[in-house]
Amino acid sequence: MRILAILALLSLAAPATAQLSPAERRMNETVRAEAERHIGLLERLVNQNSGSLNREGVTAVGAMMRAELEALGFAVRWVDMAETGRAGHIVADHRGNGRGKRLLLIGHLDTVFEPSSPFQRFVRDGNRATGPGIGDDKGGMVVIVAALRAMQAAGTLRDADIRIVLTGDEERTGSPIAVARRDLIEAGRWADVALEFENLARQDGRDAATIARRGSTNWTLRTSGRSGHSSGVFGEGLGYGAIYEMARILDAFRRELPEPNLTYNVGVMAGGTPANIDENGFAVTASGKTNIVAETAIARGDIRSLTADQEARARARMQAIVALHLPRTEATLTFGEDGYPPMAPTEGNRAILTALNRVNRDLGLPEMPEYDPARRGAADSSFVAGDVDVLAGLGAAGGGAHAEGEYVELDSLTRSAARMAILMSRLSRERRGRR
């Protein structure tokens, strides 16, 4: 009896990693042993500028990733995107045994920092490193490489069917978007599970998982009115003018549209006699005098929604508000065609998170809660969410994305890569179901 009691106590004291298979322990050990290698890769990627409009820089980062993936047995191709005004994408395929679930891994080569930015170099300070795009999304690409190398070392990569799509224009999408996202959408239709490697979210001191992202659609509002001397404003002859009509509409948006997970921002606006906007929709100009009723006004913004139904409701309500004109004014509201669709929360997405949390438990890591989608931006994973179950935000943890001082916590590369190597190995052994 005493021996049994001792054995029971020993079993309770066993580390959580005892739940891992020998191959999974090998993956965990490989990721940790190669930590400095992957920090070196991150440094090289960060020090190569790849702002979305820097075609040569994006191509150079693509070449670095090609070398890493080809060494792992992937067939890698460069998809030129000159027709969309961007550099191109990496699409890489690993052919396994064809029996397990097909995995799609999503990341991006580009950053928001163009060559003109003063923020250009990787700087390491202990466990923290800063640099342009270090988390968004060069850290995510390093997690992909580290996880795949661990799978190769453990022998689990051999039979896995994996496609990787690294877009070159995630931060500033090329146009037309149907061409820019053609290969990604096709990959989503091929896959059974999609895993996206943008920044790892943190919530209350814990890693959190992204099972939903809001979509993003741009809108343009134009108002017009009769122009004349300001002494006639509000009168039957002149009415209210374009700026008052614009103010009415925007204030009604503020008061009447609110619902959870829906936002509607005004990014740029101008009004006067006349007011104009450039062909890219970013710069506005206006002139006028205080004693002249404004003839035209222009505003541009976006709406972000969690589901397609929510976006449809918001669009319909916005159009209804626009249609209620002030006297002697007109208004039109148009929506862009190059937006990001929503990645709605689904039971399929939650099932992947459940599988990931089994990995976390087996690694002795805290379970990851669902991250609030209102705190995340749109991303490429949304383009495949209508066709495949998705788990997003699986890259490196850090902060300050899109701003000088962007950083990652370097130990998060190891943590993320270990959990993803094991998750991908387990998923790739699951039999494909009917779709």
Q: Is 248 found in the same domain as 380?
A: no
Determine, yes or no, domain membership for 9. no
Q: What confidence tens digit (pLDDT) does each residue in 85-106 have? A: 999 999 999 999 999 999 999 9
Neighbouring-strand partners of residue 406 = none
Distances (CA, A) of 274 to 227, 229, 285, 287, 334: 10, 15, 8, 6, 20
Determine, yes or no, domain membership for 370. yes
Q: What is the predicted pLDDT for the residue at 16?
A: 52
Q: Is 74 found in the same domain as 151?
A: yes
Q: Is 175 found in the same domain as 79?
A: yes
Q: Is 382 found in the same domain as 325?
A: no
Determine, yes or no, domain membership for 5. no
Q: What is the predicted pLDDT for the residue at 79?
A: 98
DSSP codes, 223-291: EEE---BGGGTTSTTTTTHHHHHHHHHHHHHHHH---TT-EEEEEEEEEESSEEE-TTSS-EEE---TT
Determine, yes or no, domain membership for 410. yes
CA distance 358 to 352: 10
Which one of 277, 309, 335 terminates a domain?
Answer: 335
Q: Is 162 found in the same domain as 141?
A: yes
Determine, yes or no, domain membership for 10. no
Domain holding 262: CATH number?
Answer: 3.30.70.360
Q: Is 321 found in the same domain as 295?
A: yes
Determine, yes or no, domain membership for 132. yes
Q: What confidence tens digit (pLDDT) does each residue in 101-132 have? A: 999 999 999 999 999 999 999 999 999 999 99
Q: Is 235 found in the same domain as 328?
A: yes
Answer whether 0.85 is exceeded by the pTM. Answer: yes
Q: Is 153 found in the same domain as 38?
A: yes
Q: What is the predicted pLDDT for the residue at 393?
A: 96
Q: What is the predicted pLDDT for the residue at 13?
A: 37
Q: In the 8-state DSSP scheme, what is residue 139?
A: H
Q: Is 261 found in the same domain as 199?
A: no
Which one of 274, 301, 335 terminates a domain?
Answer: 335
Q: Which domain holds residue 320?
A: 215-335
Rounded CA Rg of the chain = 25
Distances (CA, A) of 360 to 353, 364, 417: 10, 6, 12
Q: Is 141 found in the same domain as 98?
A: yes
Determine, yes or no, domain membership for 3. no
Burial of 387 (0-12, 13-18, 19+ CB in 10 A): middle
Give the H/E segment covering residue 165.
strand 162-167
| Domain count of the fold of the chain | 2
Q: In what order do the strands lie in the sheet with 75-80?
A: 75-80, 88-94, 162-167, 103-108, 193-196, 389-391
Q: What is the largest CA-CA distance in the chain?
A: 101
Q: What is the predicted pLDDT for the residue at 12?
A: 37
Q: What is the predicted pLDDT for the residue at 434?
A: 54
Which one of 335, 370, 403 terminates a domain?
Answer: 335
Determine, yes or no, domain membership for 434. no
Q: Is 189 found in the same domain as 96?
A: yes
Domain holding 355: CATH number?
Answer: 3.40.630.10
Q: Is 154 found in the same domain as 49?
A: yes
Residue numbers of the chain with a pLDDT score lower than 50: 1-15, 435
